């Protein structure tokens, strides 16, 4: 049976919804329809996918305005005469058609301090109880489809918040590590609040609504993290308890243990002061640089090119004056 | 748009961001080498995310009698003794360390009561051996490695101010050609999928970790990435492929609805108690236990059912036979007219476990069937059938270092793209541990190779120009073949003529047709520009799929026996003589596939002694047995 | 290409429609809006009525006036009458502000009114139409984090409500008693299912295995917590119903259905 589709096509310079009539068979999902479009009508229609089974999180798109996985949206969820509109994720810059530039998420991932292994526990000696790992395991189900990041109105409707706000995907990462029974860092809560912008979230739960892995992002990660921040910053009862049991001093001592992981915790969005190249212990530049195959950074043009180039190899074209 | 590639200078370039690639990159970076990771898809979405069941490692947490020797035995048996014994040995010995290491990177496996890593049963493994996280172990593995790489980048950021200083990920970048300087690898050439820009990586060492070839089949559990790129790159660089006739068809892929045909139903369903039934409701696997396995498998349903609770005193159910056996059994049942409506058989867990246990142990299967097929597996059986899953064959490598054989130097391979480790059939769960063990070794040895290198090889401009031309050719042609049609034709040839059950006539026919397709691939044309143009990407992948398919078809025609992932209807028996032979593929000057026989390396005596003689007698020639 | 962004700002997809959702996404916020508005109106009117809050015969006191602390209370004053008689001062002036705070800062109600009143966002993937947005990072919304204290207060007030129900028990059993008890039980369920409670109960622990009792408690609260939204609405219902029933009795519109005595 032929069904009517509207697919957004274009790139960062603009684009529009285009109409298509495509054959749809029983049991198919939206991604199948896109593949049929590619094979029969538009061979260059851009769309990401990998597993077709909701496991890799590549095929994120917006179907009838809702952020969803193309491979997990069955055509039978629409009525027979319904027009299905497919658009790219709105929150991220578009590359072409349904493909967007999701590097925002990878940058935020880099700014989240990694797992800090406990000191003095050898590989193979890790002992953890199932009840203790279960909470973090829920968050590790995340397939990084970034649908939650895309839906969250904090960045979806306010581009300017992107710098300060890490998004639900990384709140669950922070929660995962804070609840990890063996993680050695104790400053995850501060990081969530100061580095990730936990306070921007107004717990309106859209991230939970769209998560294809059904992770209870808001209830199990964001709210507990907000509560944990409250513990540290605002709760006098907890503070009092800490005073009595001297736990603050223990924690403070734990915090001063030098760690391999960098001090990105307090610097949101990688803001850094300029600094000089790394110096050796004697305060001079590393002599080894002289013996390296190349000095300084590699030439972006390759090592076998000498300048100036002969004119026929210059690839610059002056823009047409017209 | 420019046709001059952007250049990047690295020490080690790792092609592939799956488990093997990431592990290799971590090792190369830890050895102080400037490392690039290249992946066709986004970072963290490589094929490894789809692995479900677990990673096999003889840690002995679930059964203390398990150790590397038992694991080694199981692996060799599973591969029908065609495995490279040294790889199987290293794998069995080093897998536990590699898994434990993951915990220090932050992995959270399911736990036993005493807090250790829990291990589960899987086909072909004597003891519960698979470290797992529900049924999303691959996701855990790749996410852990991905996060470890991020943590290394954070270290570099703290030290140098740049995350990318020593290890950088180039995602959505495809390598189309390796660059050589004489016999030495000098770099890799490719394009960025997003922008269509050309890229040249200058690097004296390249690690291939590109995974498998399943996209040449229509019914497959593999994604679009699996076009045999690494296999083809290695061939064109002068390396050799072995065991290419051995393809694993996973016995339980979904068969309905049509659009998800092939998608995997994890073996854990059977490991946790699921049984296979035909349309008459019969547990048919009892009739398909081959002689070589007779001793290890139960003969009655009662014994099989007791095994789940008391594995020490009972033999295991035949549903847990190695995959090739189960796939063939299902195939025969369907052919005999006892199949399910959609052409598979029934896999039932609903009557075997209470619903909440099913949901806890197999969450993503429950989810997958619910969302994709509208079937509640806690209430009704699933319909399943064989699907192309894994290629045992691959780049022929030195077992210890992962360095590719053949004429090329500086090329390493690990993971599914390398061959030999699994012999003629891979045991479930052995791949994930294979990735870690040999990924680490490849990274380590690539770094060591670099240290011993007198001077950096140089990329020649002529090669770059040639690679550029090949890459842009499909876009330049005004009209020609549609890549999607060609892919379908190729899949049809492979699926129909080089499928699970093979015959001589069909194989020769397949070779003829592949030759025709090869001519057509040379004229493929696509419209649109270079920006994220899937038609263009497919057109470039096609030639890789084709050359790898030719290797498979040729080797399948040559090997006149049935063993593991290779079944010949005209030679249904396993032949001890053929066990001694590896079929090695290479490309000659003119780009034609060339096949050669090579002896399988003989096991060291102390490993030989791990087996009972009576068992070896089923596989080995008298001559080999006599030698001992 | 790489995991870092390339220089240069790149545009989002130019999609003209503000939202392409085709379902009735506006329905849920609309219902929330109407429901909350209606309830708040009713409650405000009732609190400032200063009458019909007590049924002397059976000791029924509406939760809106508990604890009753002015001279108007008469017999209902269980805790003295320290507050002056002034129309702007509700009888339960000591507790109502805390209850209001408790519900205002409740994680569920926050979601509800951010969506339905602030339209921030009205529904998922529907634009929020605000110029600027700083969430709960600034004054005054940063005080939402004080929910914990409101919870402590609410737990105490729930004890008072329970006391009211027990007091009313003194004189046999009528429909009013049943209603009071249902209300109190629902109030407890709502209060205990609070996210802060879940956190205090055990959510803040890193190792459940070392605190088996608190783990049990946490599991229990977690189960209730999944119904927090439902309980939030149910308690609005029971509160209004209890109050209305007592008003109706007190105003002699109806008489209590007695089961015993
Ligand atoms: C559904 C399914 C379930 C499985 N379950 C299990 C299991 O339970 N246990 C188990 O042990 N094994 C399992 N396997 C097998 C196992 O997952 C794979 O064999 C393994 O993940 C392969 O890993 P890899 O690192 O070799 O390659 P992959 O993870 O596939 O990575 C390949 C990488 O190479 C890149 N690449 C490929 N070509 C190019 C190119 N030309 N240029 C640049 N980059 C390129 C890709 O983008 C990708 O990043 C399963 C496989 C599937 C499909
Ligand atoms: S709950 Fe918070 S993080 Fe989630 S979508 Fe809403 S504002 Fe964003
Ligand atoms: S939390 Fe859910 S929605 Fe967000 S990226 Fe992960 S899987 Fe996707
Ligand atoms: S294709 Fe992997 S999630 Fe849809
Ligand atoms: S009362 Fe709703 S979260 Fe506390």
> DSSP of B209-256, one letter per residue?
-----GGGSSSBS--TT-S-HHHHHHHHTTB-EE-TT-EEEEEEEE-S
From B386, B416, B438, give the residue that closes a domain: B386
Is the CB of residue A61 below 6 angstroms from any atom belonging to ligand 3? no
From the list C125, B227, B1, the residue with the least C-alpha distance to A147 is C125
Determine the distance in angstroms separating the CA of A155 from the nearest CA of chain C, rounded to an integer: 9
Kindly identify which residue of chain C lies nearest to residue B194, measuring between CA atoms. C1
Rounded average pLDDT over B97-109: 95
Residue B52: pLDDT band (50, 70, 90) is confident
Cα B352–B358–B359 angle (5° rounding)? 160
* Intervals of chain C under pLDDT 50: 1, 4-8
Confidence of residue A263 (pLDDT cuts 50, 70, 90): very low
Res A269: pLDDT: 34
Please list the residues that pair with A62 across neighbouring strands: A67, A87
Structure tokens of B490?
Answer: 């190729």
CB-CB contact of B600 with B624 (8 Å): no
Evaluate: CB of A56 within 6 angstroms of ligand 4: yes
pLDDT confidence tier of residue B271, bands split at 50, 70 and 90: confident
Give the domain ranges of chain A. 2-100, 103-252
Together in a domain, B484 and B381: no
Taking only the tens place, the pLDDT of each residue in A55-75 is 999 999 999 999 999 999 989
Residue B596 CB contacts under 8 Å (≥ 6 apart), including other chains? B583, B584, B585, B586
Which residues make Cβ contacts (< 8 Å) with residue C26, sequence separation at least 6?
C122, C123
Q: Pick the most confident of A305-314, B345-354, B543-552, C124-133.
A: B543-552
Q: Which two tokens stand for residue B293?
A: 């396995």
Q: Which of A184, A203, A211, A212 to mutate to test the interface with C (most CBs of C within 10 A)?
A: A203
pLDDT (mean) for B525-551: 93
Q: Which residues, at least 6 apart from B395, have a Cβ–Cβ distance to it below 8 Å? A: B208, B230, B231, B234, B239, B240, B241, B404, B413, B417, B418, B419
B561 within some domain? yes
Count Cα neighbours of A184 within 13 Å in the Cβ-side half-sphere. 18
Residues near C178 by Cβ (< 8 Å), separated by ≥ 6?
A: C259
Pairing outcome for strands B247-254 and B275-277: unpaired
Looking up tokens 């270079």 gives B530
Residues in chain B with CB shorter than 8 Å from the CB of C2 are 164, 168-171
Average pLDDT over residues A299-315: 64
3-state secondary structure of B385: strand
- For the sheet containing B55-56, what is the strand order? B55-56, B130-131, B119-120
Of residues C10, C121, C226, nearest to A157 (C-beta): C121
Which residue among A66, A110, A234 sits closest to C125, beta carbon to beta carbon? A66
Say yes or no: domain A103-252 is CATH 1.10.3300.10: no
Cα separations (Å) of A306 from A314, B280, B574? 12, 77, 62
Answer whether CATH 3.10.20.30 is correct for domain A2-100. Answer: yes
Are β-strands B567-568 and B501-502 bridged in parallel, bridged antiparallel, or unpaired? parallel
Q: Tell me which of A198-212, A266-280, B470-484, B612-626 is least confident.
A: A266-280
Residue B590 counted as domain residue: yes
Task: Please tell me the predicted confidence (pLDDT) of residue A287.
Answer: 52
- Mean predicted confidence (pLDDT) in B271-281: 89
B303 domain-assigned? yes
- Nearest residue (by CA) to ligand 3, atom 3, is A211
Q: What is the mean pLDDT of residues B600-610?
A: 92
- Quick one: which of A110, A112, A92 has its CA closest to A102? A92
DSSP string, chain C: -BSSPPSS--PBP---SS----S-TTHHHHHHHHHHHHHHHHHHHHHTT-SS-EEGGGTEE-GGG-S--SGGGGGG-SS---S---TTS-TTTTTHHHHHHHHHH-HHHHHHHHHHTS-SSSSTTS----S---TTSSTTGGGGGGHHHHHHHHHHHHHHHHHHHHHHGGG-EEHHHHHHHHHHHHHHHHHHT-HHHHIIIIIT-S-GGG-HHHHHHHHHHHHHHTTHHHHHHHHHHHHHHHHHHHHHHHTTSS---EEE-
- Contact status, residue C127 vs residue C19, Cβ threshold 8 Å: yes
Residues of A in contact with C208 (CB under 8 A): 129, 131-132
Give B-chain residues touching C1 at CB under 8 angstroms.
170-173, 192, 194-195, 197
The encoded tokens of residue B498 equal 């080089």
Which residue is catalytic, options B98, B168, B323, B543?
A: B323
Is B51 assigned a ligand-binding role in the annotation? yes
**Of B338, B327, B443, B304, nearest in space to B390 by CA:** B327
| Beta-carbon contacts below 8 Å between A and B | 219
Assign B538 to helix, strand or coil: helix
**B153 touches A: beta carbon within 8 Å:** yes
Antiparallel, parallel or unpaired: β B6-9 and B198-202: parallel
Ligand having the closest approach to the CA of C133 = 2
- Contact status, residue B321 vs residue B78, Cβ threshold 8 Å: no
| Ligand 5 atom index nearest CA of C228 | 2
Pocket probe mutation, ligand 3, options A68, A71, A146, A151, max atoms within 8 Å of Cβ: A146
Torsion over CA of B256, B262, B266 and B269, rounded to 10 degrees?
A: 30
Q: Is B489 on the interface with A (CB under 8 A)?
A: no
- For residue C257, count CB atoms less than 10 angstroms from its CB and return exposed for 0-12, middle for 13-18, buried for 19 or more: exposed
User: Hey, how many other C-beta atoms are within 10 angstroms of the C-beta on C170?
Assistant: 9
CB A76 within 8 A of CB A53: no
Q: Cβ C1–B43 below 8 Å, yes or no?
A: no
> Does any domain span residue B315?
yes
Mean pLDDT across B99-119? 95
- Determine the residue of A109, A154, A168, A208 to mutate for testing ligand 3's pocket, defined as the one with the most ligand atoms within 8 A of the Cβ atom: A168
DSSP lists the bridge partners of residue A74 as: A29
Residues A199, A174: Cα–Cα separation, whole Å: 14
- Chain B residues in contact with A123 (beta carbon < 8 A): 97, 100-101, 103-104
Question: Which atom of ligand 1 lies at the shortest distance from residue B16's CA?
Answer: 34
Closest chain A residue to the Cα of B152, Cα to Cα: A261
CATH number, domain containing residue B488? 1.20.58.100
Q: Residue B426, annotated ligand binder?
A: yes
Tokens of B137: 């172990």
Beta-carbon separation of B108 and A302 below 8 A: no
Better pLDDT: A305 or A25 = A25
> Over the stretch A275-302, which tens digit does the pLDDT of each residue have?
344 455 565 555 555 544 445 544 555 5
Residues B379 and B482 grouped into a single domain? no
User: Which chains sit next to A, with 3 or more Cβ pairs under 8 A?
Assistant: B, C
Closest CA to B212 of B92, B384, B90, B389: B389
Strands B411-413 and B205-208: parallel
B154–A261 CB contact, under 8 Å: yes
Q: Is residue A167 scored above 50 in pLDDT?
A: yes
Position B557 in a domain: yes
With tokens 């017999």, the residue in question is C75
For the entire predicted model, the pTM comes to 0.88
Task: Name the nearest CA neighbour of C176 among C96, C258, C118, C82.
Answer: C258
Angle in degrees, CA B5, B11, B14, rounded to 5: 75
- CB contact set of A51 (below 8 Å; sequence gap of 6+): A58, A71, B49, B50, B223, B263
Find out whether B320 and B123 touch, Cβ atoms under 8 Å.
Answer: yes
Distance C236 CA to ligand 5 centre (A): 14
Contacts of B466 by beta carbon, 8 Å cutoff, 6+ apart: none
Maximum Cα–Cα distance across chain C:
82
For residue B325, give the CATH number of its domain.
3.90.700.10
Boundary of a domain, candidates B386, B407, B426: B386
Domain that holds residue B562: 475-599
> What is the C-alpha separation between B357 and A2, in angstroms, rounded?
42
**Quick check: is B55 in a domain?**
no
* Chain C (21-40) residues lying within 8 Å, Cβ to Cβ, of chain A: 21-23
Annotation says B323 is catalytic: yes
pLDDT the model gives residue B131: 95
**Tell me, what DSSP letter sits at residue B297?**
B
From chain C, pick out residues whose CB is under 8 angstroms from the CB of A65. 17, 19-22, 125
Q: Do B164 and C1 touch (CB under 8 A)?
A: no
Position A292 scores a pLDDT of 47
- Does residue B522 lie in a domain region? yes
Cβ(C46) – ligand 5 distance below 6 Å: no
Structure tokens at C119: 């339209």
Claim to verify: residue B492 and residue B368 sit in the same structural domain? no
The residue among C29, C113, C114, C125 with the most chain A CBs within 10 A of its CB, best to mutate, is C125
B149-157: average pLDDT: 95
Q: What residues does B587 pair with on adjacent strands?
A: B593
CA angle B548–B549–B550, rounded 5-degree value: 90
Both B281 and B381 in a single domain? yes
What is the spatial distance between Cα B46 and Cα B393, in angstroms, rounded to a whole number? 20
Residue B465 lies in a domain: no
**Closest ligand by atom to A29 CA:** 4
pLDDT value at residue C110: 95
CA separation (Å) from C145 to A199, C103, C107, C205? 9, 13, 10, 19
Kindly give the distance from the C-alpha atom of residue B223 to the centroid of ligand 1, in angstroms, as a whole number: 9
Best residue among B23, B43, B45, B46 to mutate for probing ligand 1's pocket (most ligand atoms within 8 Å of CB) is B46
Q: Do both B499 and B374 map to the same domain? A: no
Which run of H or E residues covers position A207? helix A206-210
Q: Partners for C (CB, 8 Å, 3+ pairs)? A: A, B
Helix, strand, coil tally for chain A in percent (to 5):
40, 15, 50
What is the whole-number distance in angstroms between the Cα of residue C107 and the centre of ligand 5? 5
Interface membership of C51 toward A (CB under 8 Å): no
Q: Which residues of C touch A13 (CB under 8 A)?
A: 11
Comparing CB atoms, the residue among B169, B192, B194 nearest residue C3 is: B169
Contact C3 B171 (CB under 8 A): yes
Q: Which of C2, C5, C208, C209 to mutate to test the interface with B (most CBs of B within 10 A)?
A: C2
Q: What is the ipTM of this complex?
A: 0.91
The span from the first CA to the last CA of chain C, in angstroms, equals: 81
Radius of gyration of chain C measured on its C-alpha atoms:
23
Reduced to 3 states (helix: H, G, I; strand: E, B; else coil), residue A5 is strand
Domains contained in chain B, number? 2
Mutational pocket test of ligand 2: of A67, A150, A206, the residue with most ligand atoms within 8 Å of the beta carbon: A206
At A234 the pLDDT is 60
Q: Where are the alpha helices (DSSP H) in B45-178?
A: 68-78, 85-104, 137-160
Mean per-residue pLDDT, B448-453: 94
Neighbours of B28 (CB within 10 A): 32
> pLDDT-derived band of residue B245, with 50, 70 and 90 as boundaries?
very high
């Amino acid at each position: 049976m032929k069904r009517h589709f509207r697919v957004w096509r274009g790139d960062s310079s603009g684009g529009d919804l285009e109409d298509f009539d495509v054959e749809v068979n029983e049991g198919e999902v939206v991604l199948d329809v896109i593949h049929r479009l590619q094979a029969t009508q538009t061979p260059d229609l851009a769309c990401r996918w990998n597993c077709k089974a909701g496991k890799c999180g590549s095929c994120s798109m917006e179907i009838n305005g809702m952020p969803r996985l193309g491979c997990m949206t069955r055509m039978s969820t629409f009525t027979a005469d319904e027009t299905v509109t497919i658009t790219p994720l709105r929150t991220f810059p578009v590359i072409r058609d349904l493909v967007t530039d999701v590097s925002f998420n990878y940058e935020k991932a880099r700014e989240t301090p990694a797992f800090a292994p406990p000191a003095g526990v050898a590989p193979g000696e890790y002992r953890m109880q199932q009840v203790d790992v279960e909470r973090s395991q829920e968050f590790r189900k995340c397939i990084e489809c970034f649908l939650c990041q895309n839906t969250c109105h904090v960045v979806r409707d306010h581009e300017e918040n992107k710098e300060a706000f890490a998004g639900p995907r990384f709140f669950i990462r922070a929660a995962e590590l804070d609840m990890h029974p063996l993680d050695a860092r104790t400053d995850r809560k501060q990081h969530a609040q100061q580095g990730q912008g936990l306070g921007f979230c107004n717990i309106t739960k859209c991230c939970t609504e769209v998560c294809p892995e059904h992770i209870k992002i808001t209830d199990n990660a964001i709210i507990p993290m907000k509560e944990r921040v409250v513990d540290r910053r605002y709760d006098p009862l907890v503070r009092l308890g800490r005073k009595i049991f001297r736990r603050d001093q223990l924690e403070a001592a734990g915090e001063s243990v030098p760690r391999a992981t960098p001090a990105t915790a307090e610097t949101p969005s990688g803001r850094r002061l300029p600094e000089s190249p790394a110096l050796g212990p004697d305060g001079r530049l590393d002599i080894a640089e002289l013996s390296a195959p190349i000095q300084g950074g590699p030439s972006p043009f390759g090592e076998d090119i000498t300048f100036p180039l002969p004119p026929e190899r210059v690839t610059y074209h002056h823009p047409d004056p017209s | 748009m420019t046709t001059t590639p952007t250049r990047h200078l690295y020490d080690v370039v790792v092609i592939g961001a799956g488990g093997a690639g990431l592990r290799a990159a971590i090792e190369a970076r830890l050895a102080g080498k400037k490392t690039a990771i290249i992946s066709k898809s986004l970072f963290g979405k490589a094929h490894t995310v789809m692995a479900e069941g677990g990673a096999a490692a003889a840690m002995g947490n679930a059964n203390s009698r398990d150790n590397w020797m038992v694991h080694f035995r199981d692996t060799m048996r599973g591969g029908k003794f065609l495995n490279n014994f040294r790889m199987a040995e290293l794998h069995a010995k080093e897998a536990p360390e590699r898994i434990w290491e993951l915990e220090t990177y932050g992995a959270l496996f399911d736990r036993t009561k005493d807090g250790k890593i829990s291990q589960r049963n899987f086909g072909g493994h004597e003891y519960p051996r698979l470290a797992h996280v529900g049924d999303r172990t691959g996701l855990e593995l790749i996410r852990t490695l991905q996060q470890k790489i991020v943590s290394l980048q954070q270290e570099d950021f703290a030290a140098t101010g740049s995350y990318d200083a020593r290890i950088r990920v180039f995602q959505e970048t495809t390598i189309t050609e390796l660059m050589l300087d004489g016999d030495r690898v000098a770099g890799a050439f490719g394009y960025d999928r997003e922008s269509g820009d050309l890229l040249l990586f200058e690097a004296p060492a390249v690690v291939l970790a590109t995974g498998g070839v399943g996209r040449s089949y229509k019914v497959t559990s593999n994604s679009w990435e699996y076009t045999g790129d690494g296999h083809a790159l290695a061939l064109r660089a002068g390396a050799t492929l072995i065991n290419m006739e051995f393809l694993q068809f996973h016995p339980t892929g979904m068969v309905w609805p049509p659009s998800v045909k092939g998608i995997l139903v994890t073996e854990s369903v059977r490991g946790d108690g699921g049984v296979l039934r035909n349309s008459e409701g019969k547990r048919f696997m009892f009739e398909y236990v081959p002689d070589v396995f007779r001793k290890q498998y139960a003969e009655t349903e009662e014994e099989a059912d007791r095994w789940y609770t008391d594995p020490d005193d009972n033999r295991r159910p035949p549903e847990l036979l190695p995959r090739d056996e189960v796939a063939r059994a299902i195939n025969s049942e369907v052919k005999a007219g006892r199949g399910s409506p959609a052409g598979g058989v029934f896999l039932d867990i609903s009557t075997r476990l209470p619903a909440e246990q099913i949901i806890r142990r197999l969450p993503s299967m429950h989810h997958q069937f619910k969302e994709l097929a509208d079937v509640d597996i806690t209430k009704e059986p699933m319909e399943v059938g064989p699907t192309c899953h894994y290629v045992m064959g691959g780049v022929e490598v030195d077992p210890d270092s992962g360095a590719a054989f053949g004429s090329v130097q500086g090329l390493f391979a690990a993971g599914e793209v390398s061959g030999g480790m699994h012999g003629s059939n891979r045991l479930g769960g052995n791949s994930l541990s294979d990735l870690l063990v040999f990924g680490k070794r490849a990274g380590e040895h690539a770094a060591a190779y670099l240290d011993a290198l007198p001077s950096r090889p140089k990329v020649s401009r002529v090669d770059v120009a040639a690679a550029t031309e090949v890459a842009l050719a499909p876009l330049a042609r005004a009209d020609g073949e549609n890549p999607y049609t060609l892919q379908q034709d190729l899949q049809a040839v492979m699926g129909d003529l080089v499928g699970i059950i093979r015959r001589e006539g069909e194989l020769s026919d397949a070779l003829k047709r592949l030759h025709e397709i090869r001519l057509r691939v040379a004229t493929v044309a696509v419209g649109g520009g270079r920006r994220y143009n899937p038609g263009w990407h497919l057109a470039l992948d096609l030639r890789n799929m084709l050359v790898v398919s030719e290797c498979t078809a040729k080797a399948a025609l040559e090997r006149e026996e049935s063993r593991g992932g290779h079944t010949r209807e005209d030679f249904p028996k396993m032949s001890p003589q053929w066990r001694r032979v590896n079929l090695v593929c290479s490309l000659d000057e003119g780009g034609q596939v060339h096949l050669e026989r090579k002896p399988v390396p003989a096991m060291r005596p102390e490993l030989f002694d791990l087996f009972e003689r009576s068992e070896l007698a089923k596989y080995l020639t008298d001559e080999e047995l006599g030698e001992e | 290409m790489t995991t870092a962004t390339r220089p240069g700002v790149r545009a989002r997809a130019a999609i003209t429609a503000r939202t392409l959702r085709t379902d009735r996404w506006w329905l849920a916020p609309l219902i929330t809006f109407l429901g909350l508005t209606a309830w708040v109106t009713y409650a405000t009117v009732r609190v400032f009525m200063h009458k019909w809050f007590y049924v002397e015969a059976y000791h029924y006191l509406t939760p809106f006036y508990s604890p009753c602390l002015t001279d108007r209370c008469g017999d209902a004053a269980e805790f003295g009458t320290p507050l002056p008689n002034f129309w702007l001062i509700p009888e339960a002036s000591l507790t109502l502000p805390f209850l209001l705070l408790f519900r205002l800062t409740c994680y569920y109600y926050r979601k509800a009114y951010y969506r339905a009143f602030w339209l921030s966002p009205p529904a998922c993937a529907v634009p929020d139409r605000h110029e600027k947005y700083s969430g709960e990072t600034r004054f005054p919304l940063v005080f939402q984090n004080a929910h914990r204290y409101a919870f402590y207060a609410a737990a105490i007030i729930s004890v008072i409500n329970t006391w009211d129900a027990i007091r009313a028990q003194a004189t046999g059993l009528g429909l009013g008693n049943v209603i009071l008890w249902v209300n109190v039980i629902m109030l407890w369920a709502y209060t205990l299912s609070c996210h802060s409670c879940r956190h205090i109960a055990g959510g803040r622990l890193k190792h459940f295995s070392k605190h088996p009792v608190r783990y049990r408690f946490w599991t229990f609260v977690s189960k209730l917590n999944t119904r927090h939204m439902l309980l939030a609405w149910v308690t609005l219902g029971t509160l209004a119903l209890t109050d209305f029933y007592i008003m109706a009795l007190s105003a002699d519109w109806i008489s209590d259905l007695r089961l015993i005595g």
